Structure 1
Amino acid sequence: MTQRRALSPVGRETLHDRVYSELRRSLIHGMFDPGEMLRIQDLAETLQTSTMPVREALGRLVSEQALEALPNRSVRVPLINREKLDDLARARCLIEGELTALALPRITADDLDMLKDLTRECDAAFTDNAPDKAHRTSELNHAFHFSIYRAAGSPVLIPVVESLWLQSGPYVRAAAQIHDQLRDMSGTHHHWALIEALELGAKARAVKALTEDITRSFNLVRGRLPADDPAEEKRAYG
């Protein structure tokens, strides 16, 4: 009896959390197109679960501004627009730049070796034409950046950055598609510059490399947005 009192039901909570985590991960890695409608029944079938945890997860993601609720009770991935793009880019540069500065004196030789390994893996993934290329490079990019941010030792700022990455999903997807078309710069160019700055202990250079890495993706998308008509601008990637 004592043992039973010490235990709590976990099945339902675990399932709901797993559905939420899977959808959240997919959004962070840009697995959905801007403007894509997310249908509860379709997601439940894909995730092999009932509709209830999917509905709850979508509600949580709407509250986190990762998804949009429409008047007809549908849910979609947000459309790309210039105002949100600029706001996200500015916020990410500020918060992630600060985390990079905080992390710099804490980065160890082992950390640097891991960052180099992740970057080499990302280089290889960029040249691979595997069906999961976009997903793989996004995961490696995420691992690279958050390895640095966690080294900063700020439990307050990490959730802020996670929220910004969650909202950046549609822009990440669009930027990846444009980069594949242009191929004008290595996808890890700024990562190597950031690693070099961290090795040298050069804070300003590290923050500059990080900022250029973030703005590179947003600038690719911004360059494809119509300049004059706000209505057309919002439909550009819808």
Structure 2
Amino acid sequence: MKSATAHDNVPEIDVEKFVADNDTGARNPGPVMKRFLLYVALAWSLFQLWIASPLPFSTGVLVFNDTETRAIHLGFAVFLSFMSYPAFKRSRSDQVPLTDWIFAIVGTFCAVYLFVFYRELATRPGQPTTMDVYTGLVGIVLLLEATRRVLGLPMVIVALVFLGYTFGGPFMPDMIAHRGFSLNRAMSHQWLTTEGVFGVALGVSSSFIFLFVLFGSLLDKAGAGNYFIKSAFALLGHMRGGPAKAAVLSSAATGIISGSSI
């Protein structure tokens, strides 16, 4: 009786809502905003498909280098992060507040700053202006906030620890101490070069991971995920411990197309 009562007290989990919250960012705005976000996501997908194809080089139209591609890629990501994910769980999910619009637009501008002012920045490497420094500072703050909304606090804390190490070098133990970096130098390195935010990780995301996840999502929506699960149970479900083995196999197969492994 006790176990039954304990089981009855366990709150029910709405699986469909849980999946929707993770897939769409837990925000459910009106039809006009949904259509707008759909067009933005479609534009991002078409951009990624365009740069991944040989068409830009064969036609000579809209050819972007790696730095420009990473900047546009991050701009789309930051914009959709603020538009799709509310600031807090208790925040209203049926509308996009004005503050999120401001964060999305400002964050997008900071992200595409390297694309818009690429030639000007190329003429003065290592000599950031006041505008460059403030753009990098605001960009990093908004990027951390977008990361908190999408991935939670752990990743933000890791980033803040390393940013703290950048500025707090003189106060560290002798083994890991360094002379520290000024705000100008830190923002120049983190935001205006391809060694900080716009480094290898973002390059891999814009070149490979996005396409991997895009086609995985298309396969999943086409029913491939359900097919993998049924195939796993057909192969292993009749064995001893079959459900557990089938769960492992179906999880591995679904991870191939979902991007979870990446």
Normalising to structure 2: TM-score of the pair?
0.27
Q: Decide which structure has the larger Cα Rg and report it.
A: 2
Normalising to structure 1: TM-score of the pair?
0.29
